[in-house]
Structure 1
Amino acid sequence: MKIADMNWMQVEERVARDDRCILPIGSVEQHAYLSLATDMILAEKIAVDAAEPSGVPVFPALPYGLASSFMDFPGTLTFTLSTYAFVIRDLLDSMHRCGFRRILVVNGHGGNTPAGTVISEWLNSHPDSSVKLHDWWRAPKTWAKVMTIDPAASHASWMENFPWTRLAGAPVPQEAKEEIDYGRLARVDARRKREMLAEGNYYGLFQRPDADSLALWDVAVAETREQLDSGWH
């Protein structure tokens, strides 16, 4: 259940009988022909879909993350690493003060990996809590499904192309993108990254039939729900 659809009294009543919640985290960054908010959209929707049967509260997605690699693509926003660490810590502190003790952080952006270190440090000072960082797109069952559909998949490719991340009036190319040089991409600045990436897709088709993308979504939702419902201790 979205926190946006609850008032504070309902949250207080809910947390007294179930101390779970979900915090989606994303990024606002280039995704080729897809929405700049793709990572935020996917993290929040998968969290809401996964929580639907149980009614676990889902906070609005933290839209901004660590996206310095894409800073030469207009519309991309980023935190510095130090600021991001403070933001994650402050949000965890706030959820803890609300009474939440089991927190599932659903991540939609690979650059947000440092959040795991922040969570680890935070848990040392909050031993009454349990926090999971769930990278939805590369969780084992979800990634296995990607591989069975089409292993040529990466950032801004078909595996992030869903009806809810597409843009009207932004048709995608039909041909597949050749795989980029990941080693070179990692050692150059944002300007040269943009030159290398062109429109922004890393590898593979820009879009596959909806039957493929929705089959992937079903696996991702089920795997996220497993994280929410089990394995807290």
Structure 2
Amino acid sequence: MKISDMNWMQVEAYLRSDDRAIIPLGSTEQHAFLSNAVDSILSEKVAVDAAAPLGVPVFPVLAYGITPYFANYPGSVSLRMDTYARIITDMLDSLATTGFRRFLFVNGHGGNSPGQTAALEWLNSHPDCRVRWHNWWSAPATMGKVQAIDPVASHASWMENFAWTRLPNIGMPSTQKPMADLDKLKTVGSEAAKAMLGDGNFGGHYQRPDEEMDAIWDVAIAETRALIEDGWAK
């Protein structure tokens, strides 16, 4: 259930019997022909879909992340690492104050990994809490399903092209884009990165059949739900 569908009294009642919270993390950045909010849309939806039968509240997605390499693409927003770390720990502080003790971050953007380090540091002063960090798209079962369908998959390619990340009346190229040199990409600034990437797809087809995408989504939901349900023992 979404925390936006609850009032504070309902949350208080929930906390009498459970202390889990789910926090989706995304980014606002270029995704070629897809929505700039792909990472936010996907992390929040997989969290909500996974939590639906469990009654665990899902907080609104943190829609901004760390993405300095896309700074030259209009509409991309990047937070500094120290800013992001403070946001993560401020959220944990706030939720722990009111009684939440078990936190699952459902992350949709690789650049947000410093947030995991911040959460681990926070745990040192909160030994009664537990934090799990779930990169949903690269988790073993989900990525295994992606690779089984098409091993050439990357940022802004078909693997992120779901019915809910497409934009209306925007067509997709029918070609398979060659993979970018990702090692070289990590050595250059945002202006050179844009020149290397062009439309922003790192490589691969732009779209695959919806039935394949639905199959990936089913695996992602099951994998995420398992983390919400199990493995919280202290």
What TM-score results when the alignment is normalised by the length of structure 1? 0.99
Establish whether residue 40 from structure 1 lines up as the match of residue 28 from structure 2.
no
Establish whether residue 58 from structure 1 lines up as the match of residue 52 from structure 2.
no
Q: Distance in 1 between matches of 2:232 and 2:172?
A: 41
Which residue does 2:24 correspond to in 1? Answer: 24
Deviations 1:116-143, CA, capped at 9 Å, x for gaps: 1101100000000000000000001001
Which residue does 2:218 correspond to in 1? Answer: 218
Q: How does 1:180-191 map to 2 (within 5 A)?
A: 180-191=180-191
Establish whether residue 192 from structure 1 lines up as the match of residue 192 from structure 2.
yes
Residue 17 of structure 1 aligns to a residue whose secondary structure is coil
- How many residue pairs are counted as aligned between the two chains? 233
Establish whether residue 159 from structure 1 lines up as the match of residue 159 from structure 2.
yes
Q: Distance in 2 between matches of 1:49 and 1:88?
A: 23
Residue 16 of structure 2 aligns to a residue whose secondary structure is helix
Unaligned residue ranges in structure 2 (runs of 5+): none
Q: Distance in 2 between matches of 1:170 and 1:98?
A: 44
Q: Distance in 2 between matches of 1:78 and 1:211?
A: 33
What TM-score results when the alignment is normalised by the length of structure 2? 0.99
Unaligned residue ranges in structure 1 (runs of 5+): none
Q: Distance in 2 between matches of 1:43 and 1:173?
A: 25
Which residue does 1:174 correspond to in 2? Answer: 174
CA deviation after TM superposition for structure 1 residue 232, in Å: 1.0
Establish whether residue 124 from structure 1 lines up as the match of residue 124 from structure 2.
yes
- Identity across aligned pairs (percent)? 55
Amino acid at match of 1:217: W
Deviations 1:122-177, CA, capped at 9 Å, x for gaps: 00000000000000000010011011111110100111000000001211101111
CA deviation after TM superposition for structure 1 residue 183, in Å: 1.1
Deviations 1:17-70, CA, capped at 9 Å, x for gaps: 011110000000000000000000000000000000111000000000001110
Q: Distance in 1 between matches of 2:109 and 2:183?
A: 19
Deviations 1:177-214, CA, capped at 9 Å, x for gaps: 10100111000000000000000111111100000111
Q: Distance in 2 between matches of 1:163 and 1:16?
A: 38
Q: Distance in 2 between matches of 1:71 and 1:26?
A: 16
The list of structure 1 runs, each at least 4 consecutive aligned residues, that deviate by more than 6 angstroms after superposition, is none
Which residue does 1:104 correspond to in 2? Answer: 104
Q: Distance in 2 between matches of 1:181 and 1:209?
A: 27
Which residue does 2:6 correspond to in 1? Answer: 6
CA deviation after TM superposition for structure 1 residue 97, in Å: 1.1
